Amino acid sequence: MKTKRAMLLVSTDPESIRLGASDLLKSLKEALEAYQLQDEVDVAEIQDIERTNILPFVVVYPEASVYGPVKPGDARYLVEEHLYKGRIAEDLLAPPKQLTGQIGSLRAHKGYNPSEQRIVLERAGRIDPENIEDAITHNAYEALGKVLTEMTPEQVIDVVEKSGLQGRGGAGFLTGRKWKFVRAAKGEKKYVICNADESEPGTFKDRIVLEGDPQSILEAMAIAGYAVGADEGYIYIRGEYGHAYRRLQHAIEQAEEFGFLGKNIFNTNFNFHIHLHAGAGAYVCGEETALIESIEGKRGEPRPRPPYPVTRGLWNRPTTVNNVETLANIPAILRNGAEWYRSFGTPSSPGTKVYTIMGNVNFSGVIEVPMGITLREVINIYAKGMKPGSVLKLAQTGGSSGSIIPSSLRDVPMDFESFRKAGVSLGSGALLICDQHTCIVDLVKVLLQFFRFESCGKCTPCRVGTQRSYEIVDRISKGQGKLEDLDTLQTLIAEMERASNCGLGQTATVPIRDMLKHFRTEVEAHIRLGSCPTGVCEMAFEKMES
Amino acid sequence: MYAPAVEREIKEVVQEAIEKHGCGRDAFIPILSEINHTLGYIPAEAIREVKAQINHDGSFVSQGQLYGLASFYDMLSTQPRGRHVIKFCENAPCHVVGGKAIWDALRETLNLENGATTPDKKWTLVTTSCIGLCSVGPVLLIGDDMYGNVTVEQLPEILERYE
């Protein structure tokens, strides 16, 4: 049998036929013959009830590009572009498949997943990150120019607020509102800080932005500076990100050279300077007040809040602290408007979200998709399924302090609102997918080891609470736990949540809470039977025997 | 790699760090990081020297404050370390894809516990928090070199690359 190199699937359901699928089929076959491709390409007819909005459509394998609606007159062009010249016929591509919520369409690019939509990572991977000119040809600094020459700071804040952009660091606070507070705060001197202390285990989305498109952050910070009335900004980047640090350093030099940073930007009287500040290894510095302390040359111990940084931040001046991913959305919002941005994601959580996927799946890496898609979709579509032999047992969303969700919650739309309702935290966007060989006790033990190490030690509930809860879970993992331990854990975490000074202690409890809520039987098996159902934990008595 | 402390005057190292980063409060951590990078750790003399030079330039910092920084931040060390520091990621994403086996093998091969240095001062073994390379876990760093998708079988070959 002759091997075919490609396959065309054409929709020929009654509705497609009504819309001209028969002629399309005929034209496609003619076009294939015209390019003498008829022996290399198979054509098949299919019906697909899910894609009723793009009929008739054509799917080309092996790339799985979806074109639609395709008119008979497009057939020759499609065959010429995709099958003869070997490139995606971008203008015929179907809008990304409707996932969940209200989703707009952004041009899909070659090499992207079929429904991936990129705003934050629009340029990352498509431009030379070391070359500002390359970024400029891809719209960099267009938004800054527009903002400085055509808009007032209030208008900028208004657009950002109307876009509904929520902080992507985990808390989901409205960015526009934060800027408004800083603008309204008393004081001549104000600061913009970019929080690039991405330390949440399993999260590396910000690194991809910083390394792939550093100019987008500089542009966004300058816009933020104009909006809130600041002429100075700091990028606090974690010490471990040496590569991203050098990229940013180079990017700042180039931006200064081109006049996008410095004095009289775009010949206006707006000045903006950016300092690049590297951390030295402390998870707690991702907390905004600890981060500010750290810039000020102190131990990264969070301040009591209030006062919030919007009124008393860096050097006690009003400060806006925004996450890298949040900032990376800003230029696109100001270029295209709030309405455009709201066409992505869900009404309560507009826009896209960058996720990092990892664990027992076939594809690990970074994706950018509309807010509101489900975990099932992430695993099946983007992670290309579970590893052979693996079955989804649980997933952790949002890094160490994120929720641990059982497979039964995989159909909850991932947006701030729906997750909040389900009692789940979206966190930083890390998705750790675990299979049946993961032991919940062992996993939580690893997480608590992290928290007891990273607790800054300033307040007692966190310092002692993380240590004690680790000791208890460690005991359980060795088969030496008691049932009372579970009550002690409940009491401990309630106190930690109530009395800890900052987010670290308040959320270090999330894995414990979820463990007791969703996986209590498994935990009790460790205690009652003295054995680990998954065979992961090393039981103390087994050690003695050997 | 790191130049041994004896080869370079600590005073000179400190001076260079201050010239590069200034002596404002926001320069304290970058100065200490720079010293740590050059000397491999932050000796007590370096802390005294930083204090003396910064205070001479008109800012104020106490030794206690500087030591507080050096002991708080994970990437700064107040103890001498081996020529090569192995940092092993012990966080959940690396753990669920087989990290523990690598960690056990590392400790066994080098006969080291977490934070310890070999008698010949060649290796220091430490755990680290996530370094953002989770898609290729388990991950370890040797100096600035990153290794991902590490297997137990690869370890001897990786370690052999270092003098």
pLDDT in tens, chain A (546 residues): 557 788 888 888 878 888 888 999 999 999 999 999 988 888 888 776 566 678 888 988 877 788 888 999 999 999 998 888 888 888 888 775 544 333 333 444 444 455 677 899 988 888 889 999 999 999 999 999 999 999 999 999 999 999 999 999 877 899 999 999 999 999 999 999 999 999 899 999 999 999 999 999 999 999 999 999 999 999 999 999 988 999 999 999 999 999 999 999 999 999 999 999 999 999 999 999 999 999 999 999 999 989 999 999 999 999 999 999 999 999 999 999 999 999 988 888 899 999 999 999 998 888 898 888 889 888 988 888 899 989 999 999 888 888 999 988 888 888 888 888 888 887 888 999 999 999 999 999 999 999 999 999 999 999 999 999 999 999 999 999 999 999 999 999 999 999 999 999 999 999 999 999 999 999 999 999 999 999 999 887 654 444
> Which residues of chain B have a CB within 8 Å of the CB of A300?
72-73
Say if residue A264 is in the same domain as residue A320. Answer: yes
- CB burial class (10 A; 0-12, 13-18, 19+) of residue A292? buried
- Per the CB < 8 A criterion, the answer to whether A67 and A114 are in contact is no
Instruction: Looking at the structure, tell me whether residues A184 and A210 fall in a common domain.
Output: yes
- B63/B115 same-domain check: no
Q: Please answer whether residues A168 and A429 qualify as being in contact, where contact means their C-beta atoms are separated by less than 8 angstroms.
A: yes
Q: Is the domain of B151 the same as that of B88?
A: yes
- Whether the CB of B42 is below 8 Å from some CB of chain A: the reply is no
Q: Is B112 on the interface with A (CB under 8 A)?
A: no
- The whole-number pLDDT of residue A50 equals 61
Residue A106 lies in a domain: no
Question: Within this chain, do residues B54 and B94 fall inside the same structural domain, yes or no?
Answer: no
Q: Alpha carbon A49 to chain centroid distance?
A: 30
Considering its fold, how many domains does chain A have in total? 4
Residues A333 and A414 in one domain: no
- Residue B78 domain-assigned? no
Contacts of B136 in chain A (CB under 8 A): 364
- Do B113 and B62 lie in one domain? The reply is no
Alpha helices in A455-508 (DSSP H): 460-477, 483-499, 503-507
In a domain, A190, yes or no: yes
Same domain flag for A39 and A162: no
Per residue in A351-369, is it b (16+ CB within 10 Å) or e — as a string? bbbbbbbbbbbeebbbbbb
The three state secondary structure string of A227-286 is HHCCCEEEEEECCCCHHHHHHHHHHHHHHHHCCCCECCHHHCCCCEEEEEEECCCCHHHH
User: Is B66 a member of any domain?
Assistant: yes
Residues B156 and B88 in one domain: yes
Last residue of a domain, one of B20, B41, B72: B72
Other Cβ atoms closer than 10 A to A145: 14
Give the integer Cα–Cα distance in Å for A481 and A110: 54
- What's the CATH number where B107 sits? 3.40.30.10
Range of the domain at B20: 5-72
- Please give the residue of chain B at the shortest CA–CA distance from A206: B132
Distance CA A414, CA A345 (A): 10
Does B30 contact A365 at a Cβ distance shorter than 8 Å?
A: no
Q: Compute φ and ψ for A70, nearest 5 degrees.
A: -110, 125
Taking a C-beta distance cutoff of 8 angstroms, is the pair A374, A431 a contact? no
A263 plus A184 within the same structural domain? yes
In a domain, residue A110? The reply is no
User: Which among A298, A387, A441 is the top mutation candidate for probing chain B, defined by the most B β-carbons within 10 Å of its own β-carbon?
Assistant: A298
Cα–Cα distance measured from residue A123 to residue A134, given in angstroms and rounded to the nearest whole number: 10
Give the CATH number for residue A233: 3.40.50.11540
Residue A234: closest C-alpha in chain B: B26
Query: Which ranges constitute the DSSP H helices of A258-392?
Result: 288-295, 324-336, 338-342, 375-377
Our CA dihedral for B93, B94, B100, B105, rounded to 10 degrees, sits at: 180
Query: What is the per-residue pLDDT across B4-40, written as a single tens digit (0 to 9) for each?
Result: 555 568 999 999 999 999 989 999 999 999 999 999 9
Cα A223 to chain center, whole Å? 22
Q: Looking at the structure, do residues A414 and A458 belong to the same domain, yes or no?
A: no
Based on the domain organization, do B150 and B101 belong to the same domain? yes
Whether residue A254 sits in one domain with residue A186: yes
Q: Are residues B14 and B68 both part of a single domain?
A: yes
Q: Identify whether residues B89 and B155 lie together within a single domain.
A: yes
Token duo for residue A401 = 């302090």
Name the percent of chain A in helix, strand, coil, to the closest 5. Answer: 45, 15, 40
Taking the C-alpha atoms of residue A417 and residue A423, their distance in angstroms, rounded to an integer, is 10
Q: State the amino acid at position A379 in one-letter form.
A: I
Peptide bond into A306 cis (omega under 30): yes
Which residues in chain A are closer than 8 Å to B97, comparing Cβ atoms?
358-360
B133 part of contact set with chain A, CB < 8 Å? yes
- The label of the residue with tokens 């000045």 reads A271
Last residue of a domain, one of B72, B93, B128: B72
In whole angstroms, what is the distance from residue A455 CA to residue A452 CA?
A: 5
In a 3-state reduction of DSSP, which class is residue A301?
Answer: coil
Last residue of a domain, one of A417, A435, A453: A435
Eight-state DSSP code of residue A203:
-
Residues belonging to chain B: 163
Please answer whether residues A24 and A18 qualify as being in contact, where contact means their C-beta atoms are separated by less than 8 angstroms.
no
- Whether the CB of A403 is below 8 Å from some CB of chain B: the reply is no
- The answer to whether residue B79 sits within a structural domain is no
For residues A322 and A300, what is the distance between their CA atoms, to the nearest angstrom?
Answer: 18
Same domain, B64 and B101: no
Nearest to B97 among A275, A283, A359 (CB): A359
B72, B97, B128: which is the final residue of a domain?
A: B72
Domain carrying residue A51: 6-92
